[in-house]
Structure 1
Amino acid sequence: MNNTSPRPKRREARRLAMLATFAQLCTSYSMDETLELLTTMNPQWAQLPDFTKELAKLVDSHRPQLEAEIQSVLEHWRLERLGLVERSLLLLGAVEILHKADIPPRVTINEYLELAKLYAPDQAPAFINGVLDKIVKKHGKPDFEIRSARTP
């Protein structure tokens, strides 16, 4: 049986959504224009995964709410002072936590920590973990509460 799947894995879809969000933060392009540019940059991206497009468009359509949500849990930081990679990862993590009820929060946090380890400065994964953790706690997401209630 062939191990290659025509459908990219969600981590790759998240990585591409991070690239799209990052690119949009750097430019004045709409998200549709940004996604179109991504598809022309690399032949492998000619068909972006639906999950990539969904996440990028969710961030785009809810960005003011997401930025306010992130800012509300930041301590001694202003969102606009964060690096663009960190901002992109936080926006995507927040949109999954707040708008993708089918994805457990711990899965979301873990996925964005893995991307932070690859693309952000060394201290970023712990920072991103803390911010996303606070958003989960603030909204009382069930998956997180069950995990927190366990004894070691």
Structure 2
Amino acid sequence: MNSSNSDNKKIVGVDRSSARLSAVQALYEIDMTGVSADPVLLEFLKDRWKFHSELTKDDQENCPHIATPNYNLLTKIIRGVSAKQNEIDQIIRPSLSDEWTIERLEVILRAILRAGTFELITFAKVPAKVIINEYVNVARAFFDDNKPSLVNGVLDKISRVVRNAEMKNLSD
């Protein structure tokens, strides 16, 4: 029974990680095309992940690395970032170095920082370090250079502002 509990926790973690990765892809698409959040979200939910449910059980067992995203989290991130983008950008700006502006960031990097910042300001029950680590991992999916370190540094700075008490307790 304990192993099934731990298996369930792993599955929950994987579907949340998949939701974050998918959310960043959707935010990238929104930024690049100018299409609003809901049509992009609908396309992700209806078309991009439909194939997974159509796989046979054998195919699903042979492709365990394909994780269906947590649709609730995916929806919250995409709609939340879209609704609060200006507020989120104002939070990100002071955490960037002088030579960087939010507009100068690569679109995918901007999407990662916006999604991570949204989670930091919205999901207080999720530890900041977990959110930061998740988005560093998302950055690693797209970048081989120093961008994951940049994501770590920026989200860490943001967390020290928006979650001051939590981060202070970690450093004590």
* Range class of TM-score, shorter chain: 0.7 to 0.9
Deviation, 1:142, is: 2.8
In percent, how many aligned pairs have the same letter?
26
Aligned to 1:91: 114
Aligned to 1:82: 105
Q: Which amino acid aligns with 1:134?
A: K
Which of the pair has more CA radius of gyration?
2
Give the TM-score normalised by the residue count of structure 1: 0.87
> Of the two structures, which has the highest relative contact order with CA contacts closer than 8 Å and spacing of 6 or more?
2
Matches within 5 A, 1:28-43: 28-39=34-45, 40-43=47-50
- Taking structure 1 as reference, are residues 7 and 68 closer, same or farther at Cα in structure 2, changes over 3 Å only? closer
Establish whether residue 116 from structure 1 lines up as the match of residue 139 from structure 2.
Answer: yes
Deviation, 1:140, is: 4.0
Aligned to 2:62: none
Structure 2 CA distance for aligned equivalents of residues 7 and 130 of structure 1: 23
| Gaps in structure 1 of 5+ consecutive residues | none
Aligned to 2:17: 11
Aligned residue pair count: 149
Q: Secondary structure at the match of 2:124?
A: coil
Structure 2 CA distance for aligned equivalents of residues 8 and 139 of structure 1: 26
Structure 2 CA distance for aligned equivalents of residues 96 and 6 of structure 1: 17
Are the counterparts in 2 of residues 85 and 120 from structure 1 also a CA contact under 8 Å? no
Establish whether residue 130 from structure 1 lines up as the match of residue 162 from structure 2.
Answer: no
| Gaps in structure 2 of 5+ consecutive residues | 54-67
The structure where helix makes up a greater share of residues is: 2
Matches within 5 A, 1:61-76: 61-75=83-97, 76=99
Establish whether residue 22 from structure 1 lines up as the match of residue 28 from structure 2.
Answer: yes
